[in-house]
Structure 1
Amino acid sequence: MARIMVSRLKLAMAAIGLAAFLQPALADPPRAVVELFTSQGCSNCPPADELLVEYSRRPDIVALSFPVNYWDYLGWKDTLAHADFTARQKDYAHARNDRQVFTPQMIVNGKKSCIGSDRAQIESAIRMTLKDRAGLPVDLDLSEQNGTVTVTVTEVAEPVSREALVWVLPVLRSQTVPIERGENKGRTVTYANVVRGLKRVGEWKGGSARFEIPVETARSGGDGYVVLLQTEHDDRPSVILGAAKSSGL
């Protein structure tokens, strides 16, 4: 009888172990936000656009495309560009005090500027921002119910003293564009996570907090969305403290 009980106990423990093995692990929060400022009229941009497509497939990265409009005079008007995205790129340059505005430009976690097609430089920037979890120190969690997106900000073990704004960015997961004129004439380019708007939805002053956003606001003009918790410097976008993306992104 004792041997039978031991055998059954071993089988039960094995079953528990197998169940634990088969149970999917909870996804870790994003490690970095990469923002690509790009243009359909820029001949140097397609390699960067392809790299952002790769980053968009990584669960540990929030990857965003911001099409800008200042190359439209070259013979092709960017079909996805918006003046607000150009303003955001220029504001970043002022906040960094380096005045560097170019395409393709990748901004990592709101603070590090990189050449958008230089994988080694971008990866180095991501690693640098992750030291001691300095990259995205505040966790955001998203949930949808009854037409409302709830954003939960989790208080960190070592409180972040800076205040920040909560932004929701509707995005298109993928958009393929045949370019008929300009420097990229004849090329067809696929863009990932194309931002369609920037909407301020709240202000965070430290600690735990909750914010509610109508789903139609979060998805307006897109088929997914990203939420950013971002500081400001002289009323311009600066360091990103936290980020989350909707399912499917």
Structure 2
Amino acid sequence: MKPTQISMIAALVALLLFSAVLANRSIASKSSTERTVKGDGFAVLELFTSEGCSSCPPADELLAKIQKEAGNRPVYVLTYHVDYWDRLGWKDSFSNSDYSKRQYQYASKLRAQVYTPQLVVNGKTEFVGSNEAATDYAINSALKGTPTTSLNLQGKIQSGKMALDYQIKGNEDQSELVIAVVQKQAISKVKRGENEGRTLAHAQIVRQLNSFNLETVEKGKVNISIPEDFNSKGWEVIGLLQHPKTRAISAAAKVAF
């Protein structure tokens, strides 16, 4: 092979390598942009999970990552530990039958199966909770929306109770006010079941769920009990406006103390 031919081949290889680098940078940039997309909407991510489920830890990790990267965006992460895995070798200390009931309500309205890890976004769509591409797409779509309702919540803690003042603006009809008391982080060592021997990190664990039929639509007050170890740094309270029949969520907000 002549030197000129070798030089041409080398130049072609270098050009191909350079193009590949640019393509990878473009993909990375796109992913970063997708995570920081701006809009007027909001995204409520409700993950149904269990410590007894071996396919759930990747979904828990993804939701923890999303929560960490959310910043000031209106992205609300809630993880519900269902109780139907408890009879299969390991009782999840965070499990609650109320969360299983909520999942079954979603499955009925969305015509979906009940499984873990299952992620529901804004009460309108569901998919496997460890699917990062689907999760990113759902978040971006929700954030680009134009809500017709807004919710504001103010809270005051007194003797193991919390008084919540709510204010609703916009087009709202027959919605329930759902209040979730959320523990931001926890670590569990699983001794039996599918995750035997694993140490699991949890994020945004729903520890208590309350639902209220609103007596007055525009503003009012409700009261909830809170766990003894509740504090404003390690916990948070998230409110949702949800239609009791369609299960669609029309507004969401964190409680300001």
**After TM superposition, is the score higher than 0.5?**
yes
1:238 to 214, 226, 247: 247
Deviation of 1:124 (Å): 1.5
3-state SS of 2:247 partner? strand
Equivalent in the alignment of 2:185? 174
Deviation of 1:143 (Å): 2.2
- Paired with 1:121 and 1:40, the residues of 2 have a C-alpha distance of 23
- Paired with 2:40 and 2:164, the residues of 1 have a C-alpha distance of 16
1:125-176 residue CA offsets vs partner (Å, 9 max, x unmatched): 2233344414xx42222223474544333423xx24x320112111211111
Equivalent in the alignment of 2:45? 34
CA spacing shift, 1:80–1:146, aligned 2, 3 Å: closer
- Paired with 1:239 and 1:232, the residues of 2 have a C-alpha distance of 8
| 1:109 counterpart = 2:119 | no
1:76 to 74, 81, 90: 90
Please give the residue correspondences for 1:39-188 in structure 2 after superposition, counting only pairs within 5 Å. 39-57=50-68, 58=70, 59=72, 60-96=74-110, 98-134=111-147, 137-145=148-156, 147=158, 149-156=163-170, 159-160=171-172, 162-188=173-199
Aligned residue pair count: 209
Q: Conserved in 1, the CA contact under 8 Å of 2:190 and 2:197?
A: yes
- Paired with 2:208 and 2:40, the residues of 1 have a C-alpha distance of 23
- Paired with 2:247 and 2:85, the residues of 1 have a C-alpha distance of 25
- Paired with 1:230 and 1:218, the residues of 2 have a C-alpha distance of 22
Q: Counterpart amino acid of 2:199?
A: T
- TM-score, normalisation: structure 1: 0.74
Q: Conserved in 2, the CA contact under 8 Å of 1:52 and 1:192?
A: yes
- Paired with 2:157 and 2:207, the residues of 1 have a C-alpha distance of 24
3-state SS of 1:100 partner? coil
1:80-136 residue CA offsets vs partner (Å, 9 max, x unmatched): 10111111100111122x1411100110011110210111111222233344414xx
- Paired with 2:241 and 2:116, the residues of 1 have a C-alpha distance of 25
CA spacing shift, 1:226–1:71, aligned 2, 3 Å: same
- Paired with 1:180 and 1:126, the residues of 2 have a C-alpha distance of 35
Unaligned runs of 5+ in 1: 1-27
1:171-212 residue CA offsets vs partner (Å, 9 max, x unmatched): 211111111111111111111121112212341775x32334
Root-mean-square deviation (Å): 2.6
- TM-score, normalisation: structure 2: 0.72
Q: Which has the larger radius of gyration?
A: 2
Deviation of 1:56 (Å): 2.3
